[in-house]
């Protein structure tokens, strides 16, 4: 639920009060996650990664195109954090300086620790 709501807010499709009006009636019926992992990176790093994926595939997704703008990027990250936190616990992983392998290791460690699977 956090992802589509964050897009609406970041894109200025709906204002926060309108989003809340849509979200609040459904909120009690949503399954609560044990934990949500917010994977984030600095805007410049995200741009590099987006462009690398686009070079391989030959195209950008609509969300990737919008994320090229720093204002959309920042607003979306803030909204993802806010809506995810409303649904349950949130842990964040800053991947700015991490390799793909290290990202996976650290992501698993964070989630495992939060749900009680770590030693």
Give the tens place of pLDDT for each residue, 11-53. 889 888 998 898 899 999 999 999 999 999 999 999 999 999 9
Bridge partners of residue 40, in order along the sequence: 94
Q: How many C-beta atoms surround the C-beta of residue 64 within 10 A?
A: 17
Q: Give the tens place of pLDDT for each residue, 50-67.
A: 999 999 999 999 999 999
The ranges assigned to domains in the chain are 2-115
How many residues belong to the chain?
Answer: 119
Cα–Cα distances in angstroms (integers) from residue 78 to residues 2, 25, 86, 102, in the given order: 11, 22, 13, 24
Bridge partners of residue 62, in order along the sequence: none
pTM value? 0.85
């Amino acid at each position: 639920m956090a992802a589509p709501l964050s897009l609406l807010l970041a894109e200025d499709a709906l204002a926060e009060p309108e989003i809340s009006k849509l979200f609040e009636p459904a909120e009690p019926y949503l399954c609560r996650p044990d934990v949500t992992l917010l994977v984030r990176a600095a805007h410049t790093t995200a741009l590099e990664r987006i462009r690398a994926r686009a070079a391989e595939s030959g195209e950008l997704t609509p969300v990737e195109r919008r994320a090229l703008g720093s204002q959309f990027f920042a607003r979306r990250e803030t909204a993802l954090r806010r809506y995810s936190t409303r649904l349950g616990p949130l842990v964040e992983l800053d991947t700015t300086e991490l390799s793909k392998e290290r990202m996976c290791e650290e992501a698993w460690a964070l989630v495992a620790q939060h749900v009680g699977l770590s030693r």
